[in-house]
Amino acid sequence: MIKAYILIRARVGKLENILKEARKLKNVESLAVVAGDYDIIIKAKVKELEDLMSLTDEIQMIDGIKQTTTQVVEKEITV
């Protein structure tokens, strides 16, 4: 399994629409609304990198998305 964080910059006034549409997507584990350089972080879990590419394509098609940055998890440490 491949895990990734997809960082999203949203257009003003589009946050709720993005959250609504992102909830519908396969392979999305969680959504977090955050403060700072990004507005939303999606935690994703896919079988292959091609699935991650497909998911990011779907996310980028959501109305109100300004920009995405994908960070693939190399190692996860539980504390």
- pLDDT tens digits along 12-32: 999 999 999 999 999 999 999
* Any domain includes 51: yes
pLDDT, one tens digit per residue, over 27-75 is 999 999 999 999 999 999 999 999 999 999 999 999 999 999 999 999 9
State how far the Cα of 74 lies from the Cα of 51, in Å rounded to an integer: 17
Write the single-letter amino acid at 8. I
* Any domain includes 78: no
CATH code of residue 11: 3.30.70.920
- The answer to whether the beta carbons of residues 46 and 1 sit under 8 Å apart is yes
Identify the domain containing residue 64 by its residue range.
2-72
- The neighbour count for residue 21, using CB atoms within 10 Å, is 17
* Domain tally, the chain: 1
* Any domain includes 77: no
